[in-house]
């Protein structure tokens, strides 16, 4: 039964039950679509997309042999972190095939907390963050 499931999932472009996933899939580029043409609008530095040479204004034509007309994300949902994608692009009229391994989206979170006795530097940084200036940065008024 497992063999049949693997063949069926492979036939529709998905993945079988083996879990490689370690997090949320991440390619590192954004696209916009207009009239069925999908163009790359941004590429994050040091991302899977930049590593394989995806550039701004590349037209994404297909992912793993499936035509893309609206969003690469719609195809991405079928794959997991670590899977390899074959991306067909057009760059200034030249067709290129790029092999991209799906990365993992790293989430960063920050936590702010107040301290009971902040140092003068901590107070200055808080003023800068809240007000855009700190009291120490303000020039004293000139005396007349």
Tell the residue number behind the tokens 């996933």, with chain if given: 21
Asked if the structure places residue 27 within a domain, the reply is yes
List residues bridging with 40 in a β-sheet. 31
- Distance of alpha carbon 7 from alpha carbon 97, whole angstroms: 25
State the pLDDT at residue 143: 54
Pair 24, 76: CB distance under 8 Å: no
* pLDDT value of position 38: 94
**121 domain residue, yes or no:** no
**pLDDT-derived band at 71, boundaries 50, 70, 90:** confident
Q: pLDDT at residue 10 above 50?
A: no
Q: Which residues contact 75 (CB under 8 A, 6 or more apart)?
A: 13, 63, 64, 66, 68
pLDDT bucket at 136, cuts 50 / 70 / 90? low
Query: Structurally, how many domains does the chain consist of?
Result: 1
Range of the domain at 31: 19-104
Q: Are 101 and 83 in contact (CB under 8 A)?
A: yes
Distance of alpha carbon 79 from alpha carbon 99, whole angstroms: 14
Is the residue at 2 inside a domain? Answer: no
pLDDT tens, residue by residue, 23-43: 788 899 999 999 989 999 999
Confirm whether 28 is domain-assigned: yes
Query: CATH number of the domain that 77 lies in?
Result: 2.30.42.10
* pLDDT tens-place string over residues 42-64: 999 999 999 999 999 999 999 99
Phi and psi torsions of 80, nearest 5°: -125, 165
């Amino acid at each position: 039964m497992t063999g049949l499931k693997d063949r069926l999932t492979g036939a529709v472009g998905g993945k079988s039950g083996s879990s490689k996933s370690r997090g949320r899939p991440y390619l590192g580029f954004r696209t916009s679509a207009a009239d069925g043409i999908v163009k790359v609008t941004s590429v994050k530095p040091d991302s899977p997309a930049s590593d394989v040479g995806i550039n701004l204004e590349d037209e994404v034509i297909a992912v793993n042999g499936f035509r893309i007309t609206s969003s690469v994300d719609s195809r991405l949902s079928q794959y997991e972190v670590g899977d390899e994608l074959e991306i067909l692009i057009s760059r200034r009229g030249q067709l290129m095939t790029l092999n991209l391994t799906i990365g993992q989206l790293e989430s960063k979170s920050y936590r702010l907390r107040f301290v009971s006795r902040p140092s003068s530097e901590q107070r200055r940084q808080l003023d800068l963050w809240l007000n855009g200036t700190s009291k120490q940065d303000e020039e004293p008024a000139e005396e007349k």
